[in-house]
Amino acid sequence: MIERPLSPETRDENLTQMADRDRPLDLLVIGGGITGVGIARDAAHRGLRVGLVERRDFASGTSSRSSKLIHGGVRYLQLGDFGLVRESAAERSVLGHIAPHLAHPTLMVIPAHSRRAHLALNVGLWTYEKLGSIDANELHTMWDREETLARMPLLRPERLYGAATHYESITDDARLVLDTLKDAHTAGALVANYAEVTELHVERNRVGGARVRNMITGSDCDIEASVVVNAAGPWVDAVRSLEGPLPPKRLHLTKGVHLILPRTCLPVDHIVVFTAGDQRSVFVVPRGEVIYTGTTDTDYGGPADRPEITAEDADYLLTAIDRAFVTPGVGPEMIVSAWAGLRPLLHEEGKAPSEISRKDEIMVGHKGLVSIAGGKLTTYRRMAERVVDLAVESLDRSQGVHGQIAVCQTDKLPLAGGDCSREGLQALESRLGERYPEIPPATIARVVAKYGTQSETLLDPIADSPDFGEPVATGTALLRAEVRYAIEHEMALTLEDVLDRRTQLLLFSLDQGLGAVDGVAEMLAERLGWNTSHTESETATYRALAESLLPGKIKQEPAENGRAAKSKAAPRSRSTR
């Protein structure tokens, strides 16, 4: 067990240790999204010497741009993917136990517009519950029209027959990555962000390591490993191409956009699923002072870094809200922010984006590079188990480790912050409220919901320096202690690392975290030794990022009836949805 925190110094030490030629790794993982960190965690708990490198920040790819739902996979029933339904439902339950602070069960309401649809939902959810062994206290219920309208008065009454309701869990995808990563680190994994694999080492026709560029210093190092796993998400093919020409089985990237709107413009308390104009299911999720709605699902062929959000994407989602809810004028001018993520799916000839299976697939290259693509946030732990099983088989063939490696145990071990029940978290919140009466109760509640049992360590420094109990700037609730924690315990190295992935202010605060920028920059500058010009450039980069998430084009174009003119002129082709 490793006690040292995940600080900037630990990052440097980890890179040095990974590059130690006298102690090559058993396993090198490329990519610090949920897939990669899940693999590193599983491998570390089995006692393997594992390293993980991430070219930007942990969770900076798809894993901070998902719909943030740990879901049982009811939707996959329609695709006949029963295995995936079973696995997703089981994993939703596992996550509720190993990370109760990151899996908040929430009612999902699915309106039905005919007796037939109502019946089909009832049968579908019954089948799902049987397949997924759903807990008795989470079984679905059916509402008739009267009850649906009484509980959800904002739904359009026209053609409404009733609704089905069941439970899914809301998560925080980037924090799920971080808390998985931190548990991997505690179990002995060597991890580093801002470390990009630029070449693979091939010896005797086998991949046996990689050249890694330290993106902070610009220096290169060589890391040797018996097995190299490519968990690079949308960049899986780019990494596979370092091994040689790509085989026929390729990635098929599809883009999913979400919009964030103030909660006041659609004050729902449940997740609501409804259909867009092309009959695809979309949803709205309540989250603090905002709601988010998503998602689109369109083919994507552009660069994988920061896919852009178009007026057409926004129009598709806003029109869907209009079809489902009585909302006086939800228009593009209300968008607080937006995000786009890329699904790293495996191409299936002739299938539209929504029809391509979400199942994961492991591919072993001709020189032994193990690549994993597809899959879900929800099922990441099982994906990791399959990859590590394969790595252990390979180690057994090369080094005869049979019987010396522990079996997977990640379903029983808590993630960082998850060593507590839901009731325990409530007790912790009360205890911390009493210990820190100067901190607003809402802030304590937010900290506990986000960090679980790690909240104690996060707030500890306040005892010696009460300053840490203060907000980082007036008008923001972000505590200086949270920023300190992000730097000292979660390897945050940039403003974006703190304000996006570690605290979610970029996406979920009405001001995109801009009110906290200067205060956070000052703390980072002091700790990381930034000079004035570096601090200014960091601040400008963050402001530009926040600006880029506002679908500004919509605002600039003359609107017709509250919708972007361009979108009306260029309707979306149904086949791409």
Using CB under 6 A, list all residues that contact ligand FAD. 30-36, 53-56, 60-63, 66-69, 71, 196-197, 231-235, 239, 256, 295, 341-344, 375-378
Please, what is the minimum distance in Å from the beta carbon of residue 256 to ligand FAD? Answer: 2
Nearer to ligand FAD, 63 or 410 (CB): 63
Q: Whose CA is closest to 56, among 223, 304, 268, 271?
A: 304
Residues 288, 263 contacting (CB under 8 angstroms): yes
Of residues 313 and 428, the one with the C-beta less far from ligand FAD? 313
> Minimum distance between the CB of residue 466 and ligand FAD, rounded to whole angstroms?
37
Give the DSSP per-residue string, 253-265.
EEEEEEEEEEGGG
Structure tokens at 432: 């911390």
Query: What CA–CA distance (Å, rounded) separates 49 from 139?
Result: 43
Residue 283 sits at φ, ψ, to 5 deg, of -150, 170
Closest approach of ligand FAD to the CB of residue 212, in Å: 8
- Given the complex with ligand FAD, which of 40 and 336 has the nearer CB atom? 40
Distance in Å, CB of 474 to ligand FAD, minimum: 34
> CA-CA distance, 240 to 298, in Å (whole number)?
24
Smallest gap, in angstroms, from Cβ of residue 97 to ligand FAD? 17
For residues 295 and 279, give the distance between their C-alpha atoms in angstroms, rounded to a whole number: 13
- Minimum Å gap between C-beta 500 and ligand FAD is 13
Q: Give the position of tokens 């149904």.
A: 574
Q: Looking at beta carbons only, is 74 or 517 nearer to ligand FAD? A: 74
State the amino acid at position 240 in one-letter form.
Answer: R
Q: Would you say 373 or 448 has its CB closer to ligand FAD?
A: 373
CB 53 within 8 A of CB 192: yes
Least distance (Å) between residue 75 CB and ligand FAD: 10
- Distance CA(141)–CA(139), nearest Å, equals 7
Amino acid at 129: E
Q: Which residues contact 339 (CB under 8 A, 6 or more apart)?
A: 64, 65, 257, 258, 260, 309, 507, 549
CB of 60 to ligand FAD, least distance (A): 5
d(CA 221, CA 230): 18
Between CA 17 and CA 346, with CA 25 as vertex, the angle to 5 degrees is: 120
Q: In whole angstroms, what is the distance from residue 322 CA to residue 335 CA? A: 14
* Closer by beta carbon to ligand FAD, 479 or else 549: 549
CB 206, CB 213: distance < 8 Å: no
- 192: phi > 0 → left, psi -120 to 50 → alpha, else beta; which? beta
Least CB distance to ligand FAD at residue 355 (A): 15
Query: Is 235 or 542 the residue whose CB approaches ligand FAD more closely?
Result: 235
**Among residues 233 and 515, whose Cβ is nearest to ligand FAD?**
233
Cβ-based nearer residue to ligand FAD, 337 or 378 = 378
